[in-house]
A = this chain, B = another copy of it.
Amino acid sequence: MAELPPKAKGFIDWYLAAVDAANLTDKRYPVKGMNVWTPYGFLARRNLDAVMIRAIEGTGSQPVEFPALIPNTEFQKEKEHIKGFDAQVYWVTRGGATPLDVELVLRPTSETAMYPVFALWVRSHRDLPLNVYQIVNIFRYETKTTRPFIRVREIHFLEEHSCQVDEAAAAERVRSNVAAFGVMAHDFALPFAAVRRPEWDKFPGAHYSVAFDIPVGEARTLQIGTAHHYRENFSGPYGIKYEASDGSTKLVHQTTFGLSERLIGAIVAVHGDDKGVVFPSAIAPYQVVVIPIAGGKSAAPPIDAARTIAERLTARGLRVHLDDGPDRPGAKYYHWEGAGVPLRLEVGPREAAKGEATCVNRLGERSTVGADQFEATVLARLAAYDDELRARATERFRAAFEIASSLDELKSSTHVRVVAWCGDEACGHRVEEAIDGALLGVPELPLPLRLPPPGRCIACASEKPVQWALAGRPL
């Protein structure tokens, strides 16, 4: 049991060690950037999926699944889009020993798989809106350094694709996606910034892109999701048209909403500490670990009492693990802390006799859970733990931002920067050069920061209307 390197000393080293110690993934699969979901990591992912499914189906989206292989003929139809993905797709060129007549792309995202079929599904205004999503794996021939969950070559991915009657309805769908992400982020205990990416950094083929960013590590930022307005950019080439109520034929306006396993990386990155991973209860593979403790060297631990507690909590719908293995209690505490389990219930002979347990949460808060209202008390402790996790994350989120008033201040920045920006591309690029990173964009939702009026543009000092924008160095 090696100690983790301290998080404050170097984020990436800590992150890699924390992911390994919790055994969330196995990186030893013999293809770089394609990792194995271990049982423990898979359970976290299943919980992540459940949170996403609940939120997105709550907005009227229906599940579908389209094939993983896309014929090159369909893939080539939207020029901007294909330019953005050409260099990073995997090509299937043979079936058995036979060269394929039409080469197939392993989906890097599913616009070009879905839209030929949407053209068949959408006929009339009565077929709209069409809001469908799928949770699948996508594939990108990534040339940058890969990192578990954060940058991999096979990516667990949620993608919603929608068709709307017009531009305004599509803009409303994007807002609804941003709101749905807020619902999920509450469960992840992740404060985030929703920003509209500048023109030069939008998704290939999009009219505009809204991205969700969080601060991580040493003043870096991590994009943890996106929603895009496509206008008619894809419906034109793919012929997705409908008969409007006035009898005219119109192209649909489209949107997409994308989230991925990177959210697990974000949860580890934001909540983890020098002991390892810290899971919010919605994502934790086990929400409670119950550990029976012997009263003395030769005494047997009260396993039956511990099992009863585990069974009662399981019956209340909690995910509970009874650790009745041979290791010393200290070793178990260490292991389950590193694995991020929200609540540890210790049951010694005294607790067993009274029907109680000692509760220690992953933030180190200790309390007794009495026999009376036992299950309800554990549920309340779990909710209080999530609230505290959220409060701490919000505090760190706020502290991660700092206003910069000059381009000079952006250099070797120890914060994500808030800058006044006139909206000109040239000024945006000067900000990016100064911070050696990206102008992330203008917030779509109010940030949880107190900001004065923005004043003049940080780059050109022009008197044109300026807005607060975020600038940072994406991980």
| Chain A interface residues toward B at CB < 8 A | 26, 28-31, 34-39, 42-43, 45-46, 62-69, 71, 73-74, 86-98, 104, 106, 113, 116-117, 120-121, 132, 137, 139, 141, 154
- For the complex with contacts A36-B66, A39-B63, A91-B94, 16 further pairs of A-B residues with Cβ separation under 8 Å are A26-B120, A29-B113, A30-B73, A31-B71, A36-B117, A39-B62, A42-B62, A42-B65, A45-B65, A68-B139, A89-B95, A90-B95, A90-B104, A91-B95, A92-B92, A93-B94
User: Contact: B92 with A106, CB < 8 Å?
Assistant: yes
Q: Which of B34, B86, B132 contacts A39 (CB 8 A)?
A: B132
The reply to whether B89 and A90 form a contact with Cβ atoms under 8 Å apart is no
15 contacts across the A-B interface (CB closer than 8 A): A26-B120, A28-B120, A30-B73, A30-B116, A31-B71, A36-B65, A36-B117, A39-B63, A42-B62, A42-B65, A45-B65, A68-B68, A86-B96, A88-B95, A90-B92
- For A88, what are the chain B residues with a Cβ–Cβ distance below 8 Å? 95-96
A311 to nearest B CB, angstroms?
16
**CB–CB B35/A67 < 8 A:** yes
Partner of A69, one of B31, B43, B67, B120: B31
Within the oligomer, what is the number of copies of this chain? 2
- Lowest 4 CB-CB distances: which A-B pairs, in order? A95-B141, A39-B62, A34-B67, A37-B65
* Chain B, Cβ-Cβ closest to A104: B31
How many angstroms between the C-alpha atoms of A39 and B121 in the bound complex?
12
Chain B residues, Cβ within 8 Å of A26: 117, 120-121
Q: How far is the CB of A90 from chain B (nearest CB, A)?
A: 5
Q: Say yes or no: A67-B117 contact (C-beta < 8 A), given A39-B62, A90-B95, A92-B90.
A: no
